[in-house]
A and B are shown apart, each in its own frame.
Chain A
């Protein structure tokens, strides 16, 4: 059963990656150009605009296809940033223990107590709003869960025979961490990475929805939902499609994570 979920997730994810790569060439229109003659009056789905047009007269399908690339990119890169920060802090805290552990984990507690979205808003204000800012900000906001899990793994690995043996043989800390601890954390890391990707895609969409995501004209799914919110009674399809797109992408990575473990415990 679990492998079934995993397979479904991998297939969905693969399709998403393909779409992100070839999507723009499939797009029937320029995603930023007004192609419908109607401004401020979205047109409903129907040829040649299969998913309709928005209030700026742009083709929703083309925007969705272009948006796939940016959403996936943000999801994956921000995931890498999140993992890098979280793993480093988690490994350091778990492996060294003692004062290092206390200081790092209290810092993690402080960051956990922070309202993450507000932190993100403030950070975006500090840096220039761009794709790069979004990568870093999401990483800075969401590493705490990763750090906690990695720490507890490292904490138990530290007491294992092969680590103690390596230490007795005079191996450096760096060598022990990278040769003995890290490889044993990798299975957990893969699960966290999948969950983290779905988390970052959602967070990116949330930031865009609050109007502080990747700046226009880059079509992002979150911003498409936000722009459609004015028209939700008159043109509900405008928000329905990008929302389903986010759901699809997030579901793909959640399926992978759940397929790998059964339940992605600890991190969400």
Chain B
């Protein structure tokens, strides 16, 4: 009877405090990082997540063959070394021996094969499948005619080989995407859609608890291959805390990390140190307004240039509390091995009017901005609306739900102007230039329907160039052409600002990836009980 009561109590009292191992005084190890997010983490399944919130947690639970260091250079992770054949078609990874998943089962090259097969399997409905379709036999596997992908093999437990149909200078970068993370293949297959609730990986942390709508808790993985990491005992993220609330919780020392709400930003920036440790960093993101190059009068380059001159980007950035830099071109500054010194389109309404007159649009015209309508989108939209009004262009704002937005921008001659931001998948200019503007990508991400044979030729030449420096030179030439053709209104590259509790150390903002907590450590707490 007593036992029954205990069990009942255990079942009812769910808000138990989590117990963490006692910390050794004076050491850097230990402590729990307290975070908050507006919603639940969308997924913990690396085959599915394609957003920074999911990746934040996936990258702590799972590992990929290779990853990026803080300078966005590829460095080993699960693979201790790799070889790429001269024709750029065969990639062979040598896995670190003895790595196990956090439950102790060994991680083998077979798991690596199975993980990629899972991404390519239509049943998984992975958003990342497209990155791996270049693997030999991927199409047959997806069609169901072969049980395995011919180009994936595991000759022994620590050797993982991938053969491609065509050379792909980005393939190593694709192996750094979370989609390519190694999961226990059999278990993941068996769990299907439920793998996200029982994720198992080899990363520095493991899932301790995930109560949707409440909190997600990661604990240190005791079997992590690097015994000196992570420093933290765990990470707790409370769900359902919007930015505003997170900031107030941060101020009352209930959180270790928080963004700064727009309303508070000007005040905080007068003396950031009074609030905490301010960390900021650039992102490989470009925010722009796409212009449909097939829809008159936007099919006229001069009109598109005019719109670019008409928008005051400094004002737009002022609306972001200055948290951005004006975009002069498409590829964000800070892209490794790549710089472009284009002048872009400074604010010049006179020039805009002149160009419109030249294009026969001196009396102005009416067009439509489609936006999915977050607060900030609408604010910027209304600012742009006003700026364009000054040069005689009437911009109507059409606010549509995200689902309808995504569908509409894909239709030819439907959406004249749309607001979008692109963040880099890979630290390579092609991920902006080719992905967004190659004429053959009109059914994927070329929503402006920009089609320039000269530009396409340069892209083709670049991807045939093996030497990275020479390749970047060609990309620079292509981008000059693109900026001149102005298929978008270039707006800004955001800058991330994060406020940290003074006890937090080792927190960095990564331009490409969500922040990593493996190297984060906390000041030892005073002896008082928590």
Contacts and interface: CB of A to CB of B under 8 A. Distances in A.
Nearest to B376: A230
A211 B261 contact: no
A127 to B, nearest CB: 11
A216 B378 contact: yes
Interface in B259-302: 261-267
Contact of B396 (A40, A125, A215, A233): A215
Interface string B304-322: 0000000000010011110
B385 A217 contact: yes
A266 to B, nearest CB: 35
Interface string A54-85: 01100000000000000000000000000000
B266 A215 contact: no
A227 B375 contact: yes
Nearest to B378: A216
A217 B262 contact: no
A209 interface: no
A34 interface: yes
Contacts of A232: 263
Interface string A13-55: 0000000000000000000111000011100000000000001
Interface in B477-520: none
A128 interface: yes
A41 B397 contact: no
Interface string B427-459: 000000000000000000000000000000000
Contact of A125 (B318, B319, B401): B401
B383 interface: yes
A235 interface: yes
Given A216-B385, A230-B261, A234-B263, A55 B379 contact: yes
B318 A230 contact: no
B386 A34 contact: yes
A172 B268 CA distance: 75
Nearest to B314: A39
Given A39-B318, A56-B379, A230 B400 contact: no
Interface string B72-90: 0000000000000000000
A241 interface: no
B318 A215 contact: no
Contacts of A211: 373, 378, 399
Contacts of A227: 375, 378-379
Given A227-B375, A231-B263, A233-B263, A40 B397 contact: no
A129 interface: yes
B382 A56 contact: yes
B351 interface: no
Contact of B318 (A32, A40, A128, A234): A40
B381 interface: yes
B198 interface: no
A126 to B, nearest CB: 9
Interface string A205-235: 0000001100111000000000100111111
B404 interface: yes
B157 to A, nearest CB: 52
A235 B244 CA distance: 14
B338 to A, nearest CB: 31
Contacts of A32: 382, 385-386, 389
B406 to A, nearest CB: 13
Contacts of A215: 396-399
Nearest to A223: B378
Interface of B: 244, 261-267, 315, 318-321, 373, 375, 378-379, 381-383, 385-386, 389, 396-401, 404
13 contacts: A32-B382, A34-B386, A39-B315, A41-B266, A129-B399, A129-B400, A211-B378, A215-B396, A215-B398, A215-B399, A216-B397, A230-B263, A232-B263
Q: Which 8 A-B pairs have the closest CB atoms?
A: A39-B318, A234-B263, A231-B263, A215-B397, A216-B382, A40-B321, A40-B319, A216-B397
